[in-house]
Amino acid sequence: MMMDLFDSSGSTSPSQDLAQRPLADILRPKILSHVIGQCQILGSNGSLSTMLDSGILGSIVFWGPPGVGKTTIARLLAQETDLYFVQISAIFSGIPELRRVFESARIRRDNGQGTLLFVDESPSGSTKLSRIAFYRLWKMAP
């Protein structure tokens, strides 16, 4: 039986799944030590390495053009520190969504798991949402 172009009911092999993913996703590092570049923050004396070695991950602002690895590094930091990763958009998210994120983070914290909140596309941290997010997460820190 021939599969229809739009038929999603058929099973796909891992190679077919791989072929459907964007190249950037396929090549993205899976662990923090596989990140190439960013030695100033991830090297042996880098600020992130120092934070990870001390076991304290404070508030961090990643700045740079699209595609340099800000989101990837944030996801890998969450993975490395066993934090639940939440990504929201400073441009498209509103206060109600942020309240839901904080409530979920509070529940996770009460159950022994922390949350890494990644606020994407924050123009110089100047949005009201960004200021509220940083303040609330600071207040939630142990």
Dihedral angle, C-alpha 95, 100, 105, 110, nearest 10 °: 130
Backbone angles phi, psi at 25, to 5 degrees: -70, -40
Total residues found in the chain within this entry = 142
Residue 121 lies in a domain: yes
Domain span including residue 130: 82-142
Q: How many CA atoms lie within 13 A of 132 on its CB side?
A: 13
In this predicted model, what pLDDT tens digit does every residue of 111-132 receive, in sequence order?
A: 999 999 998 875 554 555 555 5
Q: Where residue 121 sits, what CATH number does that domain have?
A: 3.40.50.300
Does residue 8 lie in a domain region?
no
Residue 11 within a domain = no
Residue 100 inside a domain? The answer is: yes
Could you tell me if 116 and 74 are in contact, meaning their C-beta atoms sit under 8 angstroms apart? yes
Q: Which residues of 26-65 are buried (b: 16+ CB within 10 A; e: fewer)?
A: eebeeebeebeebeebbeeeeebeebbeeeebeeeeeeee
Lowest mean pLDDT among 91-95, 103-107, 129-133: 129-133
**Residue 70 resides in a domain:** no
Residue 58 tokens read as 């404070």
- Answer whether residue 102 is part of any domain: yes
Q: How many CB atoms lie within 10 A of CB 119?
A: 24
The predicted model scores a pTM of 0.70
- Is residue 36 situated within a structural domain? no
Domain count, the chain: 1
139 part of a folded domain: yes
Banded pLDDT at 5 (limits 50, 70, 90): very low
Residue with more model confidence, 133 or 99: 99
